[in-house]
Amino acid sequence: MSTAVPAQASAAVLQPSEPISDSAISVQGPDLEKNLSLQDLLKSYERIGFQASSLGRAIDIVNRMRKWRLSDEPISVDESEDYIFPEIRAQTRCDIFLGYTSNLISSGLREIILYLVKHKHVAAIVTTAGGIEEDFIKCLGKTYLADFNMDGADLRSRGMNRIGNLVVPNDNYCKFEDWLLPILDTMLAEQQATGEVWSPSSFIRRLGKEINNEESIYYWAYKNDIPVFCPALTDGSLGDMIYFHSFRNPGLILDIVRDIRALNELSRKSKKAGMIILGGGVCKHQIANAMLIRNGADYSVYINTGQEFDGSDSGARPDEAVSWGKIRADAESVKVFADATLVFPLLVAATFARD
């Protein structure tokens, strides 16, 4: 019997590696023997691998968005006179467009988003109808922790609405109707008196003023003059209320054309633009499509659990948006495949909350 290792097998198993680049980063997790701060722990994510490294990359990109100033760039030959003065260039920042789905406002991420709006960390918001109404509804009644496995028919008989492992008493929506309908009456009267119709964003701004509650995201958006866009404003309880109002006091008009112009112009005029998008659907694509107007975003962070095998925009990675001109080819971008409730508080803690 031969004692020599078969050459074919040896060559297959012991395939030599090419030299490792000096710039290669080795995998290493946090050293819990040390007394790590939260910031030290989050910094260690960059080298853990998998989605931890994606989160580390997202933190780095958001910090780059926050750090950028127009004064970092040379003055272009076609620069507007408004932007040639050093002090103006030093004050001109990257405009951050924040998008999120309605379920995140139902969750405790509402308070994280409120912090960003209260402290003027974002330039504009795009969300869905639920992302608007659930904020106001929480000012009128609480949402409660529950369980994903609760029986739907039983909940329906008890007047409880389930959102994942949360429940909202239906009475909260009744309170919302009682609060909203008189405001709709007033808004209609103002429209008839002035001839000025409402847009979804001006509608939301008015509600933020009317709620007059510091626990509301849209109160702070109103106070800080941060526009909130909601292309699908009627797709939820707000739509139900507008529907009911159209019978009892018809005539209220919401002009979506004004909003698409306002959002696209805000994008076009941004000297630098970044996207932070939590979830998918309307909020993701509306921001990305606005970025097309300026030949793409400069920075992009997606956080969602969507997959791309079905061709959905919700699941698409940033590189697909590059092909459409919605993210620039030289942009810094990442997608974190994760539930936003798990990772977005960590991202904010490592970026905006460090001020």
pTM: 0.96
Phi, psi angle pair for 26, to nearest 5°? -80, 155
Q: Which of 60, 139, 61, 123 is nearest to 262 (CA)?
A: 123
Tell me what pLDDT residue 322 has. Answer: 98
Distances (CA, A) of 36 to 40, 342, 345, 352: 6, 20, 18, 20
Q: Which amino acid is at 97?
A: F
Q: What is the pLDDT along the chain (355 residues), one digit of tens a residue?
A: 778 889 999 999 999 999 999 999 999 999 999 999 999 999 999 999 999 999 999 999 999 999 999 999 999 999 999 999 999 999 999 999 999 999 999 999 999 999 999 999 999 999 999 999 999 999 999 999 999 999 999 999 999 999 999 999 999 999 999 999 999 999 999 999 999 999 999 999 999 999 999 999 999 999 999 999 999 999 999 999 999 999 999 999 999 999 999 999 999 999 999 999 999 999 999 999 999 999 999 999 999 999 999 999 999 999 999 999 999 999 999 999 999 999 999 999 999 999 7
Active-site pick, 272, 284, 326, 335? 326
Tell me what pLDDT residue 121 has. Answer: 98
Q: Which of 176, 171, 92 is nearest to 129 (CA)?
A: 176
Rg of the chain on CA atoms, in Å: 24
Q: Which residue has the tokens 């980063």?
A: 25
CA atoms of 30 and 24, how far apart (whole Å): 18
Sheet holding 297-304, edge to edge: 228-229, 124-127, 95-100, 273-278, 297-304, 327-337
Q: Which two tokens stand for residue 348?
A: 């904010």
Other Cβ atoms within 10 Å of 284 Cβ, number: 26
Per residue in 215-234, pLDDT (tens digit) is 999 999 999 999 999 999 99
Catalytic-residue membership of 223? no
CA atoms of 94 and 272, how far apart (whole Å): 5
For residues 97 and 287, the answer to whether their CB atoms sit within 8 Å is yes
Tell me what pLDDT residue 354 has. Answer: 92
Tell me what pLDDT residue 3 has. Answer: 83
